[in-house]
Amino acid sequence: MATEEQLALTKALSGDGGLGVEESTLVSIIGKWRKKPEHVSSFRKNFNRLFSHAGHIEKCEDDHVQKLVIEFSRFHQITVLWAMHPHERDARWANQVTHKNHPASILVEVASTRSAEDLLGARRAYQTLYHHSLEEDVAYQIKDSKSKLLVGLVSAYRYEGQKVDNDVAKSEAKSIHSAIKSAGANKISENDEVVRILTTRSKLHLKSVFKYYKEQFGKYLEEDLSSDPLAQQTVLCLDSPASYFSQVINSAFKEGATHAETEGLSRVMVSRSDIDIEEIKEAYAKLYGAKLADMIGKKTRGYFRDSLLSLAGEAKA
């Protein structure tokens, strides 16, 4: 019969159902079980995920230990990221895409949601860290069909003023629509006109383009791009970053989230805490009918949970 403490310890060390570990629980049980090795022994015998019977001992399962390393270090990782210069963070995330096979979506995120000056800062930091330019590495390391769009996005230095030419925006909405019809929606990120529009126009101009698209063709451009995820993500990041970030956060909470998806939670919370976390909370509530703070409380643990709440501007649970 498992004691309350055994259950708590099992939960704390299972690495399941929640991100991070409940450090306070662990510390308290370590204290309670001092000079009671029989309790620890009984726990080992019952906790089959971490321990298996081998000779006269219950040996530690390396696989699970590795899994725990990740969970224990979520707090470490988020703290280091938080302390880093924002431009260095962006440069490192970009380099993980070019050199460590991380998903290209992270590059789209960094290139499309930062301000023009912050993207320039990230490019400078990239040169300092890696002795190559960002566009050089993206063009060289990513040689597939997405490269045109990605190189264009990271090279952009968009105008950030108020001036928009609505006639041009209208005709560009039409161009994009024709391109989707003729090129086929899954190849849209290879189309020169679409790449030109998405990678050079100002964000305000693009919002106008997307608005005219809906008016003229009845559907949101994102819907018509569902078979080209990178193009679709680009449009979402440029049009409504708060909705995009909410989606990234939410995929970390789901059952069976991948390592990349759970890292997305830390990445978004750290990089947006000072920028637009309020808008993200609003967008999250609209999209998922739940408060972000509540979901963080439910789905994450320990110091990791507390740091996420702090980054979200919320009091501790």
Partner 1 sequence: MATLTVPHSIPSPQEDCEQLHKAFEGWGTNENLIISVLAHRNAAQRKAIRQAYQATYGKDLLESLLHETHGDFEKLLLLWTLEPSERDAILANEAATKWHAANRVLIEIACARSSEELFIVRRAYHTQFKRSLEEDVAAHTKGDFRKLLVPLISAYRYEGAEVNMHLAKSEAKLLHDKISDKAYSDEEVIRVLTTRSKPQLLATFNQYKNEFGNAINKDLKSDPKDDFLAALRAVIRLICTPEKYLEKVVRLSLNKMGTEETALTRIVATRAEVDLKLIKEVYQSRNSVPLEKAVKHDTHRHYEDLVLALLGCEEN
In the complex, which residues of this chain contact partner 1 (CB under 8 A)? Answer: 120, 123-124, 127, 131-136, 139-140, 147, 151-152, 155-161, 163, 192, 196, 199-202
Nearer to partner 1 by Cβ, of 95 and 250: the residue is: 95
Q: How far is residue 286's CA from residue 265's CA, in Å, rounded to a whole number? A: 18
Place of tokens 């023009």: 116
Nearer to partner 1 by Cβ, of 135 and 279: the residue is: 135
Provide the minimum distance between the beta carbon of 196 and partner 1 in the complex, in angstroms, as a whole number.
Answer: 4
Helices (H), the chain: 4-14, 23-32, 37-46, 62-83, 86-99, 105-113, 116-130, 134-141, 147-155, 166-183, 192-200, 203-217, 221-224, 229-239, 241-253, 259-272, 277-288, 292-299, 302-311
Provide the minimum distance between the beta carbon of 275 and partner 1 in the complex, in angstroms, as a whole number.
Answer: 21
Provide the minimum distance between the beta carbon of 142 and partner 1 in the complex, in angstroms, as a whole number.
Answer: 11
Provide the minimum distance between the beta carbon of 270 and partner 1 in the complex, in angstroms, as a whole number.
Answer: 25
Place of tokens 């992270």: 106
Nearer to partner 1 by Cβ, of 35 and 131: the residue is: 131
Nearer to partner 1 by Cβ, of 146 and 272: the residue is: 146
Provide the minimum distance between the beta carbon of 231 and partner 1 in the complex, in angstroms, as a whole number.
Answer: 17
Nearer to partner 1 by Cβ, of 131 and 259: the residue is: 131
Q: How far is residue 296's CA from residue 258's CA, in Å, rounded to a whole number? A: 17
Indicate the SS3 state at residue 19. Answer: strand
